[in-house]
Structure 1
């Protein structure tokens, strides 16, 4: 794991995390992942430029000023002392740090975790392609999406208690102290 002077830590991704480095086409899944958006990047014709485009996800609802400030710090750090400096630096970084997320070894993934956000950088150091994608996730939104929400409680005359919970996509689960029934 590489740590910059300002504390940004960049670690190689595991193969299990590979899906976080690509756009999720299912809107509900994208929402559950807390995807703020992604940046598409390339280093231009000479490998030393830095061109980028922001692609919002979830109707740009998670793109807060707090996020923008932190994202700017992350990108500035990776451009100063990391794989986003230029194409040569990216190639060198990938060769030295591993993190292959494709079987052909052409794409590499690195993760930066902060208290609130997860940044997943995909590096593909081939000229002519987009060399980088940085996917940004709100970890707090992920936690909220995975919580089971209590919507009601009932206590019957015999003392049996039952809870009704709402899950993802409107599935209700009834719980009592002995069993759970899916309805």
Structure 2
């Protein structure tokens, strides 16, 4: 079984996604687990997302992957082996919501298993998010073009990476940061709300608000490949 650290683009898919993104990526569900107080237990809970995709082939693959990861010196053997495995693969580290976490990926023929590890005592120690492999990789590939923002006249203003942030300035001068997620070329989630890029531009103009990329998140502009922006 081949296990590798997650890429930067893959890391965000080790958390629960919106209905739109989980559908496009083929998220079947996820497994959450911990090693108990001793560090040697193994307690898990499965959460369905798309039960209709939980085929016998998938279930066999999941069992094989989890059993392989539970072997000696592998990250799910116990909390101490997980900590050692993560230390040996420092390139897998990324900032989590509360602490440094570690991410790995294992593939079968049709499915991708993205593992997020936290070897801290007293917390859930791992989450394994399960995807239809081709759907996940296709979505990540498309998201690589970035999220584009336009003005009400359909002129592209800037792009940010999937998961990047914009700064909205209201008509009265209040500034708000919003995280954005790629849906497709014409749709994005902004602060958890789904927008067509034209709808967002028109709404901001109507409200007298402006928007710009967070300074660290701007991408180089690209020439538009389409003459118009269909709804």
Same fold, TM exceeding 0.5? yes
Partner of 1:83: 75
- Asked whether 1:19 is paired with 2:19, we answer no
Q: Say if 1:14 and 1:101, in contact at 8 Å, map to a contact too.
A: no
Provide the C-alpha distance between the structure 1 equivalents of 2:88 and 2:35, rounded to a whole number of angstroms. Answer: 20
TM-score w.r.t. the length of structure 2 is 0.57
Shift of 1:44: 0.6
The alpha carbon displacement at 1:168 in A equals 8.6
Rg larger in structure: 1
Alignment of 1:22-101 (within 5 A): 22-24=15-17, 26-58=18-50, 60-81=51-72, 82-98=74-90, 99-101=92-94
Tell which has more relative contact order, 1 or 2 (C-alpha 8 A, sep 6+). Answer: 1
Size of the aligned set, in residue pairs, is: 146
- CA distance in 2 between partners of 1:43 and 1:144 (Å): 34
Deviations 1:63-115 (A, max 9, x none): 11100000000000000141000000000000001201217862000011222
Q: What RMSD over aligned residues (CA atoms) do the two structures have, in Å?
A: 2.5
Gaps of 5+ in 1: 1-7, 147-166, 172-178
User: What TM-score does the superposition give when structure 1 sets the normalisation length?
Assistant: 0.72
Deviation at 1:16, TM superposition (A): 2.4
Do 2:35 and 2:79's aligned partners in 1 also have CA atoms closer than 8 Å? Answer: yes
| Aligned pairs (5 A) from 1:97-176 | 97-98=89-90, 99-102=92-95, 106-142=100-136
CA distance in 2, matches of 1:19, 1:48: 28
Structure 2 unmatched runs, 5+? 141-184, 188-195, 197-225
C-alpha separation between the residues in 2 aligned to 1:66 and 1:52? 20
